[in-house]
Amino acid sequence: MRYIDYMQLNPFQRFGYNLGKFFKKLPSNLARFFKFLGRAIVGFFVGIGKGIANYGKRFVKGDAGVKLSYLIFGFGNMVKGQVIKGLIFLLLEAAYICYMIFFGWGYMSKFGTLGTVKATTTLDPDGFPVTIPGDNSMLILLYGVVTIVISAVIFVIYIANTKSAYKQYEAKKNGEHIPGFKEEMHQFLDEKFHISLMSIPCLLIGCFTILPLIFMILIAFTSYDNAHLPPGNLFTWVGLENFKDLVSITEGANKASTFVNLAEWTIIWAIFATFSNYILGMIVALMINKKGIKLKALWRTLFVVVVAVPQFVSLLLMNQMLQTNGAINQLLSVITGAHQEIQFLNSTPLMARITVIIVNIWVGIPYTILITSGILMNIPADLYESATIDGAGPVKSFTKITLPYMLFVTTPYLITSFIGNINNFNVIYLLTNGGPSTEQFYQAGWTDILVTWLFKLTMNNQDYNLAAAVGILVFIVCATLSLITFNATKSAKDEEAFS
């Protein structure tokens, strides 16, 4: 279709046309995604190959100074007059060697087995028990990861050092000016300003996000559960054993059946929580924004206040109100005239689950109102007018105009909130703490979702390996969903539209 034809369509036809185009293009988009993935992998290996080739080339072409800097960091810079820069390189090398000798290597050498010597207790000559410390698998794993990360950083610095040495060598050969230390520092405020801006945040993220993440991912492949707790016991690598535990279903209250049950409930929960909030919230937002309704700000504030109150306050309050002697039962007693003691959270699984979803509606609808109000007002009014003329009532307008339009515009938000609900720790933990409890599940109650199970596994039962495996599986689901969303949003492609 040509642009001029497209412009002549009414908004509704445009929407249909775009929707059709989206689905028509879906297979080719998917194909492009995988092609891109393949290219990225190939590109990665080509990059490594090129890196090695350049590394060799620099060594062969460079002079003695460059060659020596392959062993002694910063040597090439020092002989070319960049003494301070060279010294910094050298200092880093010395620090790394010291670290490896006195600390890192001891842990690295045991990384393959995670320790072989158990702590033992013997009696000393006076008859008092003495503990001879053995290997601590947890610390070996943790410091092993730390050492690997540090080594990777040093490797990058090492390559930078050879590059820098070769660059100064070429500059000297061609008779160019070799910048002094002050000049180079000045570059960090201008051409290399991104390095000055990013280094501290990257360091923090590396220490407190990436490093722990690697550690936890590795734990999923070990036997670090409550039967193998350091320092008394050792744990070791077990490969994919934990993932097998999660999917091999046998009779009884085991890990696999718990996992399957909780995964099922997690998905049911996420679907109900997302769509109930989305649709009901939109209806309320429509009512508030309807033409002729006054006091719009007041109505909106009434709902938004619920968003503003910290979630733990509102959820703890709700938990208390839903107790047998809580406010809801008191209210019911007043209304019915008879004493009521309904157990909302601790009787049957179904009752608890429905209560959780309803309370979540109370928590969640205001978010939807907050977010959709602006978008709802952008729906062209002529759509509704023509629908009314054609005899459509409010329900029909909603299902045929509002919902399709909103679904199209807010799909990314919908998927984000779906992921948010899969990870919705607060509502479940603070409201029911997973209850009602049951013997059928391994360390979980009827309303536990996967992330609260993960939390309980680590905090109450110390099954770190299982928790890490669950975490990885949840991550894979969420990451796939987010990647699809991100690819679908336009802002990723149009980031320079305004500049």
Partner 1 sequence: MIKSYKLRRGLANTFIYILLAVLGIIWVSPLAYLVIQSFNTGKEQIPQTLLPMAYGFDNYIALFTNIGSLNFPRWYLNTFVVACFSCVISTISVLMVAYAFSRLRFKSRKKFINVGMILGMFPGFMTMIAIYYLLKAMGLTQTLVALVICYSAGAGLGFQISKGFFDTIPRALDEAATIDGANKNQIFWKIILPMSKPIVVYTVLTSFIGPWTDFILAKIIMGDARDNYTVAIGLQQMVSLEFKTRYFKQFLSGSVLVAVPVTILFLKMQSYYVEGVTAGGVKG
Among positions 334-373, residues that touch partner 1 (CB under 8 A) are: 334, 362, 365-366, 370-371
Beta bridge partners of 132: 120
Q: Is the CB of residue 447 less than 8 Å from the CB of residue 272?
A: no
Q: Is the CB of residue 340 less than 8 Å from the CB of residue 333?
A: yes
Taking the complex as a whole, the smallest distance from the CB of residue 453 to partner 1 amounts, in Å, to 12
Taking the complex as a whole, the smallest distance from the CB of residue 291 to partner 1 amounts, in Å, to 9
CB crowding 343-360: b at 16 or more within 10 Å, else e = ebbbeeeebbbebbbebb
Please give the biggest Cα pair distance in the chain.
101
Q: Of 473, 476, 462, 471, nearest to 223 (Cα)?
A: 462
Q: Which is nearer to partner 1, 130 or 362 (CB)?
A: 362
Considering only 77, 162, 410, 421, the residue that binds partner 1 (CB under 8 A) is 410
Distance CA 87, CA 109 (A): 30
Polymer length in residues for the chain: 499
| Residue 202 within binding range of partner 1, rule CB under 8 A | yes
- Tell me phi and psi for residue 113, to 5 degrees: -110, -15
| Residue 204 within binding range of partner 1, rule CB under 8 A | yes
| Residue 314 within binding range of partner 1, rule CB under 8 A | yes
Taking the complex as a whole, the smallest distance from the CB of residue 252 to partner 1 amounts, in Å, to 28
| Residue 42 within binding range of partner 1, rule CB under 8 A | no
Considering only 276, 416, 437, 461, the residue that binds partner 1 (CB under 8 A) is 416
Which residues within the stretch 115-154 sit at the binding site for partner 1 (CB under 8 A)? 138-139, 142
Q: Is the CB of residue 94 less than 8 Å from the CB of residue 186?
A: no
Taking the complex as a whole, the smallest distance from the CB of residue 144 to partner 1 amounts, in Å, to 13
HSE-CB at 260 with a 13 A cutoff on CA atoms is 13
Q: What is the CA radius of gyration of the chain?
A: 31
Considering only 412, 438, 484, 487, the residue that binds partner 1 (CB under 8 A) is 412
Binding mask 431-460 for partner 1 (x = CB under 8 A): --------------------x--xx--xx-
| Residue 182 within binding range of partner 1, rule CB under 8 A | no
- Tell me phi and psi for residue 376, to 5 degrees: -60, -35
Considering only 148, 229, 387, 430, the residue that binds partner 1 (CB under 8 A) is 430
3-state secondary structure of 392: coil
Taking the complex as a whole, the smallest distance from the CB of residue 474 to partner 1 amounts, in Å, to 6
Of the ranges 76-84, 173-181, 266-274, 485-493, which one interacts with partner 1 (CB under 8 A)? Answer: 485-493
Residues that bind partner 1 (rule: CB under 8 A) add up to a total of 103
Q: Which is nearer to partner 1, 249 or 305 (CB)?
A: 305
